[in-house]
Amino acid sequence: MGLKRKAEEIANIIEKQEKVIIVSHSDADGIAGASIAKKALEERGIDYEIKFVKYINRKFLKKYRERENFTWFIDVGNGNIKEIKELQINCVISDHHFSNEEYDKSLNPFFYGIDGIVLSSIIKKLIEKGFGYNYISSLFGEVYEIDGKDVRDYSTLLNAMARCGYSRMAVDVCIKWEYKKAENILKEYRNKLNKYINFAKEKIDEYGHVQYFHGGNYIADTVVGTVAGMIVKDGEVHSPVIAFAENEEGIKVSARAPSFLIEKGINLSKAVSKSAKLLGGEGGGHRSAAGAIIPKGMEEDFLYIFNEEIRNQLTL
């Protein structure tokens, strides 16, 4: 079955519902997805609620087993398919994150060969075939604009609103195109981010094949992954970066890795998920970006397990 056919199958399930609980990831992807879902359900006269989450786990899912309403997981869910099956959650999933398990009510582009790493592989192949920079840039370097503004700026804005706790407002901004109303939030977010990045660079240390820093309760758990990603993008690190931050459920773990390591076969989603599970936590994500929640005080144990997993991946 192709991607379009699977999407139609999922859509048919949703259209039969009287009410849908939208549970979406609190970031740009999740906000955009929730906005599209909101508009689609309104057009069909289907009642709905929207709930934004940083992540979902077994405890969260148990609440939804007790509810009669149908749930639509957006940009979350693929890392929890085992629990969703066990708890018999009445739901569909549209999520692009890596998953080791398939679910018949899930639309995951990963299983149809659509993944971010595919783009870099295509560029690499074009270079090998002798195509020049200008030709490749014409295919992949186009900058798309809306009202004269780079669309990537809109993504940054939605992420900023999510990280600052304005996900619901971001849905209205996304649908009504009232982006100017949120520019002060973006300014506040960038100022905080700069402070967090400077703090992280002062704290970063090495552990085997990994570099890491602990944000404690200074760096918010909602942005610690972004901070780790910015450090990787600076090009000064050549290994996976692990970032820790405290939150209400324990320790938030975020992992990021340079693209050349992903091309060598590193899969952060697998490494993070396995490491967290061995410590009684949960995690998942993408090959180049992943996250988890682990019990407080288990940071060094996590680094040991994760480092061993990365070493094993590099030697396979």
pLDDT at position 113, please? 67
Three-state DSSP state, 256: strand
Q: In this predicted model, what pLDDT tens digit does every residue of 146-199 receive, in sequence order?
A: 666 677 778 888 888 988 888 999 998 888 877 777 888 888 888 999 999 999
pTM as predicted? 0.71
16 vs 9: CA distance, rounded Å = 11
Q: Domain 3-112, what fold?
A: inorganic pyrophosphatase (n-terminal core) (3.90.1640)
Q: In this predicted model, what pLDDT tens digit does every residue of 49-84 receive, in sequence order?
A: 999 998 888 888 887 666 667 999 999 998 889 889
Q: Which of 155, 315, 163, 185 is nearest to 254 (CA)?
A: 163
pLDDT at position 312, please? 92
pLDDT at position 136, please? 57
Architecture of domain 204-316: Roll (3.10)
pLDDT at position 122, please? 57
Q: Which of 41, 48, 44, 39 is nearest to 20 (CA)?
A: 48
Averages of pLDDT over runs of 10 residues in the chain (316 residues) are 86 94 92 94 95 87 74 91 89 86 84 59 61 58 62 82 89 84 86 94 94 95 92 87 94 93 90 94 89 95 96 84
Q: How far is CA 196 from CA 213, 256, 312, in A?
A: 11, 16, 32
93 vs 32: CA distance, rounded Å = 15
User: Domain map of the chain by residue range?
Assistant: 3-112, 204-316
Kind plus residue range of the DSSP H or E element containing 62: helix 58-65
